[in-house]
Amino acid sequence: MLEGKAMVKETDMSPKMQIHAMASASQALDLYDVYDCISIAAHIKKEFDSVYGNGWQCVVGSNFGCYFTHSSGTFIYFALETLNFLIFKGTSS
Amino acid sequence: MLEGKAVIGETDMLQTMQQDALNLASKALDFFDVTEATDIARFIKKEFDRTHGPGWQCIVGTDFGSFVTHCCGCFIYFCIGSLAILLFRGSPPP
DSSP B50: H
In Å, how far is A73's CA from the nearest CA of chain B? 14
The residues in B 27-56 lying below 8 A from A, measured between CB atoms, are 36-42, 44-46, 53-56
- pLDDT value, residue A4: 62
pLDDT-derived band at A3 (thresholds 50, 70, 90) equals very low
- Residue, of B13 and B15, whose pLDDT is higher: B13
Contacts of B89 (CB under 8 A, 6+ apart): A90, A92, B52, B53, B55, B56, B57, B70, B71, B74, B75
Is B92 close to A92, i.e. CB distance below 8 A? Answer: yes
Residues of B in contact with A90 (CB under 8 A): 55, 57, 69, 89-91
Q: Do the Cβ atoms of B67 and A93 come within 8 Å?
A: no
Q: Which overall architecture, per CATH, does domain A7-90 show?
A: 2-Layer Sandwich (3.30)
CB contact under 8 A, B69 and A69: no
Which residue among A57, A64, A89 places its CB closest to the CB of B60? A64
Res B1: pLDDT: 44
Lowest mean pLDDT among A66-70, B19-23, B70-74: A66-70
A to B CB pairs, distance under 8 Å: 122
> Does any CB of chain B come closer than 8 Å to the CB of residue A62?
yes
A56 part of contact set with chain B, CB < 8 Å:
yes
In sequence order, the 6+-apart residues with CB closer than 8 A to the CB of B8 are: B18, B22, B76, B77, B78
pLDDT at residue B58, as a whole number: 93
Residue spans per domain, chain B: 4-88
The rounded distance, in Å, linking the Cα atoms of B25 and B20 is 9
pLDDT over 90 at B43, yes or no: yes
Q: What confidence category does residue B3 fall into, taking pLDDT thresholds of 50, 70 and 90?
A: very low
Pick the more confident residue, B13 or A3: B13
Between CA B85 and CA A60 the distance in angstroms is 14
CATH no. of B4-88: 3.30.740.10
